[in-house]
Structure 1
Amino acid sequence: MTAQADLDTCREMIRHGSLSFHAASKLLPRGVCEPALALYAFCRLADDAVDLRQEKAAAVLELERRLDLVYAGRPRDTAPDRAFARMVEQTGMPRALPDALLEGLAWDAMGRRHDSFSDVVAYSARVASAVGVMMAVLMGVRDRHALARACDLGVAMQLTNIARDVGEDAREGRLYLPLDWMEEAGIDPDGFLADPRPLPEIRTMTRRLVMRANSLYYRSEAGIAVLPRACRPGIYAARLIYAGIGGKVAAAGYDSITTRAHTSKPRKLLWLAEAGIRAALSTVTPSPATLYAPPLPEVAFLVNAAARGAPEAGRAEALISALSQLAATDRSRMNGLMQDRARAS
């Protein structure tokens, strides 16, 4: 397989797996779009590998082995692995960033719930901001302030995803709303998962997520404005499309249980046009003070891993801990299944 054939395969994966990124990627310059396709295809592969397998610990461990091979320069003989390995070699991508993504996938696989909003942000840092920082790296951006704003954008996008998918997640037995919010509202988490309804208290929590996301979208714009000029339209487009999903959630009265927000193709085309205009205006507008805001505490480790001059990190202890916990969860799950089968026989 040629490098171009590998990228064509990645492009098809993205076309079917991430409509929002596929739309935004059309505005990225080729030198950034192609490695970004490799990055997102590998992320899609990783997410599916864990989501579709019953033995979650084995799935995440297998992904870690695939990363080991990528960073050793001997990727598996598949298009996403080969394309991701080329991207890593070309950009010098710090290993700590995909490791953070794997840690987030491990949290998902063990059904981890989040005690506080800070815990939700920490989760978002791993499954979304890590990808945002990897995007910045492949654009050649290693400035701490720009990286912190890339993290803001990643967290905002993930909060939007959570707000949009409250009902869908609940029907799958997943809960991302902060447990302390639910306790304040007098809602039992297990009772909600058993019978998810658009209660006023749940709508209020969904609104809080959208409002927090909106404040981070606003702050992220200062970082977009200092990206390489040709990259700005694509990232502005991603910011506008995801914020637009949050707008649809708001328009539905923050009921994301009986409805699921989506945006139309014509609306996406308008956002793509607006992204081009904003990118052009950013070339003549001085950097706002929000560019220099410190990173959210939960994402600081990502900024430290990717910033210019940062020392190369070894294998993350946090990932090792998460994999150990996930293995224990898998063993408990399998023991439960065996006991159920024994009782049935």
Structure 2
Amino acid sequence: MNEALLSHATETMAAGSKSFDTAAKLFDPATRRSALMLYAWCRHCDDVIDDQQLGFQAAAAQSTPLQRLETLKALTLRACAGEPMSDPAFAAFQEVALAHAIPQQQAFDHLEGYAMDVRGDLYPTLDDTLRYCYHVAGVVGLMMARVMGVRDEAVLDRACDLGLAFQLTNIARDIVEDAGNGRCYLPINWLAEEGLTLENYAQPTSRDRLAKVAQRLVAAAEPYYASAEAGLAGLPLRSAWAIATARGVYREIGVKVDRAGSKAWDRRQGTSKAEKLGLLAGGAVSALASRGKQAAPPRSAALWQRPGGGGDRAAGAA
């Protein structure tokens, strides 16, 4: 076991995602190691695109985000092919990908999310926003589920739903911060319905109207959180506890954005240590309750369906 890789991945998780770091500690040791390794790769790719690498070995800097993206693609392809990897993030990903038979397409689906950022894509409707959410988070849910031993397509759909819910919450929380970085993931037609444009939606004078868009986004995440909870029965108990806890932490962030209204972006919304402890307990209750369930009810056809998923593609409500 490469302890240097594990140490790097642990530090990356602790620095990059305090919300998921709490839940990840609940996995059994083998699952936790693989989850940390996968997260380290995802975080590294994100940081490389933004030219803000974390870790003890920064990737060779390229002159443009597009060139950095092409480097990430090339290294990911090599990792999937089993070639020797010197970069710790790609060595970590290779270990996970080969051990859990993660489809190469899923890795490249994730990289497409960074490509969408590099291109500066815009999102006319909620369905378009959900497509972005799939690439940056839904497919990570699929890969994480494979790490937990899931192969059932119906359960994988629920894992993807949780990723979608997480990202919708993140978008609502980070609207103003993202705007400062020149990125907007909001459905443009929702902005238009509030009389907002790409030029003025993040201005302080627009906060009351922007809050309505954020609250709508938080509400849009709810059926995906519900769908994900129904998938807990398909996970091993400790994994179900970890995922139920992560679900509770992220959902609580959305609740806070919703309640804060126009003041949601005065400070970054998060959960306190005391709140996390309560959500840990709630996650345990949900995980234990899932043990008595034989199978999840059919997934709603109204939910956005991942590419190649278990059901026919159904667009989310625009």
In the alignment, structure 2 segments of 5+ residues that lack a partner are 52-61, 312-318
Alpha-carbon shift at residue 225 of structure 1 (Å): 2.1
Native 8 Å contact 1:224 1:236 kept in 2? yes
**CA distance in structure 2 between the aligned counterparts of 1:294 and 1:43, rounded to whole angstroms:** 30
- The correspondence for 1:266, drawn from 265, 274, 293, is 274
Counterparts of residues 44-193 of structure 1 (less than 5 Å) = 44-52=43-51, 55-193=64-202
Shift of 1:30: 1.2
Structure 1 residue 278 and structure 2 residue 277: aligned?
A: no
Q: In structure 1, what residue type is equivalent to 2:48?
A: A
8 A contact 2:208–2:262 mirrored in 1: no
Return the match for 1:209 from 217, 220, 235: 217
* 1:175-214 residue CA offsets vs partner (Å, 9 max, x unmatched): 1111111122221212335x35443321111011101112
Equivalent positions of 1:232-247 (< 5 A) are 232-247=240-255
For the pair 1:223 / 2:222, whether they are aligned, the reply is no
How many residues align? The count is 301
The structure, 1 or 2, with the larger RCO (C-alpha pairs under 8 Å, 6+ apart) is 1
* Alignment check: 8 A CA contact 1:163 1:210 kept: yes
Are the aligned partners of 2:191 and 2:201 in contact in 1 as well (CA < 8 Å)? no
Residue aligned with 1:106, SS: helix
Deviates more, 1:124-133 or 1:180-189: 180-189
Structure 2 CA distance, aligned partners of 1:204 and 1:281?
35
Larger radius of gyration: 1
TM-score for both structures, normalised by structure 1: 0.82
SS of the equivalent of 1:225 reads helix
Match of 1:27 in 2: 26
Residues 1:299 and 2:306 are matched in the alignment: yes
Q: Distance in 2 between matches of 1:55 and 1:85?
A: 26
% identical equivalent positions? 36
Q: Aligned runs of 1:4-15 on 2, under 5 Å?
A: 4-15=3-14
Distance in structure 1 (CA, Å) of the matches to 2:98 and 2:156: 20
Q: Quick check: 139-148 or 247-256, which moved more?
A: 247-256
Segment drifting more, 114-123 vs 219-228: 219-228
Larger helix share, 1 or 2: 1
Which residue of the partner structure matches residue 325 of structure 1? Answer: none
Closer, same or farther in 2 for the Cα pair 1:226/1:158, shift >3 Å? same
Query: 8 Å contact 1:46–1:63 — kept in the other structure?
Result: yes
Match of 2:258 in 1: 250
Aligned 8 A contact 1:163 1:246 in 2: yes
Q: Could you tell which deviates more after superposition, 150-159 or 66-75?
A: 66-75
> Aligned-residue CA RMSD in angstroms?
1.9
Q: Is the 8 A contact 2:49 2:68 kept in 1?
A: yes
| Structure 1 residues 118 and 292: alpha-carbon distance in aligned structure 2, compared to 1, 3 A threshold | closer
The 8 Å contact of residues 233 and 296 in structure 2, kept in 1 or not, is answered as no
Deviation at 1:123, TM superposition (A): 0.2
Q: What SS does structure 2 have at the residue aligned with 1:189? A: coil
Q: Distance in 2 between matches of 1:107 and 1:303?
A: 25
- Secondary structure of residue in 2 paired with 1:191: coil
Cα displacement (A) at 1:286: 4.8
1:11 and 1:201 mapped to 2: Cα distance?
Answer: 40
Q: Which amino acid aligns with 1:264?
A: S
User: Is the CA contact (8 Å cut-off) linking 1:10 and 1:38 kept in structure 2?
Assistant: yes
Q: TM-score, normalised by structure 2?
A: 0.89
- Point out where structure 1 has 5 or more consecutive residues left out of the alignment: 305-345
| Cα distance between partner residues in 2 of 1:167 and 1:292 | 33
**Does the 8 Å contact 1:149/1:295 carry over to 2?**
no
Return closer, same or farther for 1:299/1:197 CA change in 2, 3 Å cut-off.
Answer: farther
Partner letter of residue 189 of structure 2?
Answer: D
- The one-letter code matched in structure 2 to 1:172 is N
SS in 2 for 1:192: coil
What is the letter of the counterpart of residue 114 of structure 2?
L
Give the drift of 1:295: 8.2
- Does the C-alpha gap of structure 1 residues 91 and 67 become closer, same or farther in structure 2, counting only changes over 3 Å? same
- Distance (Å, rounded) in 1 between the aligned partners of 2:63 and 2:204: 24
